[in-house]
Amino acid sequence: MDIARIREALKPLFPGLMGFELTEATPERIVATMLVRPDLCTAGDTLHGGAIMAFADTLGAIGTIVNLPPGARTTTIESKTNFLRAAPVGSTVTGVSTPIHLGRTTMVWQTGIRNNQDKLVAVVTQTQMVLPAAS
């Protein structure tokens, strides 16, 4: 799938509202950045855990979509997050998602989210279900 088409498809959706910027999308690696804005933060002007999880979930979903057979769809069925450090308002986080398992019925992706100093903010592992094309 063409990265420009993915970017355009995301604009009116939740990732677009979050300011998600897709920079790479291949079957082996998905990369995006996101500015930590005040409206994505919690107390202490740090990126909200839900925003971190939504950012990573989008990366893993895109990775699955890039690997889907024609007509198939996907949905997240499991996600686990380890929060390691805060990301302050005004900084930019970068997420890199790579596959752990690319199966016929499920795909598992691991996403590392890093801050401006290239330090891990969070690690997210998620399982995507592959939904076959409607017959």
93-128 pLDDT per residue, tens: 999 999 999 999 999 999 999 999 999 999 999 999
The overall pTM is greater than 0.85: yes
pLDDT in tens, 31-77: 999 999 999 999 999 999 999 999 999 999 999 999 999 999 999 99
pLDDT in tens, 8-39: 888 888 988 999 999 999 999 999 999 999 99
Q: 78 to each of 9, 37, 68, 112, 128, how far by Cα in Å?
A: 24, 27, 18, 17, 7
The token pair that represents 104 in the structure block? 């016929």
Domain boundaries, the chain: 3-131
Q: 64 to each of 5, 40, 79, 83, how far by Cα in Å?
A: 15, 25, 14, 23
Which residues, at least 6 apart from 43, have a Cβ–Cβ distance to it below 8 Å?
none
Work out the pLDDT band at 135, boundaries 50, 70, 90: low
Fold classification of 3-131 is: Thiol Ester Dehydrase; Chain A (3.10.129)
